[in-house]
Amino acid sequence: MAKFEHKLTAMLRPAVEETGKELLGVEFISAGNHSVLRLFIDHENGIDVDDCAEVSRQVGAILDVEDPISSEYSLEVSSPGLDRPLFEKAQFEAVVGETVEAKISMPLNGRRKFKGKLVAVENESLIVMVDNEEYELVISNIDKAHLVYNHTK
């Protein structure tokens, strides 16, 4: 997650928690003249459209006051879905043994994309088994990661 996304997460997490939801993470996608700020929220009882609308109102008010984004953007609030995005160490620890996909910012052995079994989380790194080979991915080097949904379970 980029530094700007970390800043947004820290700014918005208290507002999301006030609604009784958990802010899993934030994605900011800049696309020319228009950008998208996407928040992923969760709750032990699941997330519905009303939850997303409530969080959107709460967060929208803070964004209007703080104004951290200088360009035009859309705010999207959603549940994590089946291919749950992973942003923080604790989220990775919760899915050890599952299949994950990660894209890293600095290539490792000539590759930037890794899809395989998350074997362990050690210190600030993930150990991912891809084609019978283990790779150590530093969490701070991960641009984007998500759980790979296994429909056969």
For 18-35, the pLDDT digits (tens) are 999 999 999 999 877 889
Q: Give the residue carrying structure tokens 């109102």.
A: 57
80 Cα distance to chain centroid: 9
Q: What is the pLDDT of residue 6?
A: 87
Structural element, H or E, at residue 6: helix 3-18
Q: Which fold has domain 3-78?
A: GMP Synthetase; Chain A, domain 3 (3.30.300)
Q: How confident is the model at residue 1 (pLDDT cuts 50, 70, 90)?
A: low
Q: What is the pLDDT of residue 38?
A: 95
Q: What is the mean pLDDT of the chain?
A: 93
Q: What angle do CA 56, 44, 89 make, to 5 degrees?
A: 85
List Cα–Cα distances, 68 to 7, 8, 28, 78, 94, in angstroms: 9, 8, 12, 21, 31
Q: What is the pLDDT of residue 89?
A: 95
Q: How confident is the model at residue 112 (pLDDT cuts 50, 70, 90)?
A: very high
Instruction: Compute the average pLDDT of residues 77-96.
Output: 95
118 Cα distance to chain centroid: 16
Structural element, H or E, at residue 16: helix 3-18
Backbone dihedral region for residue 98 (phi beyond 0: left; psi -120 to 50: alpha; all else: beta):
beta
- CA dist 130 and 77 (Å) reads 32
Q: Could you tell me which residues are beta bridge partners of residue 76?
A: 38
- Checking if the pLDDT of 104 tops 90, the result is yes
For the chain, the structural domain boundaries read 3-78, 89-147
**If you classify domain 89-147 with CATH, what class do you get?**
mainly beta
pTM of the model: 0.86
pLDDT digits (tens, 9 = 90+) for 31-80: 778 899 999 999 999 999 999 999 999 999 999 999 888 888 999 999 99
Q: Which is nearest to 28 in space by CA: 58, 65, 3?
A: 3
- Write down the number of H helices and E strands in the chain: 3, 8
The total of other beta-carbon atoms located within 10 Å of residue 12's CB is 21
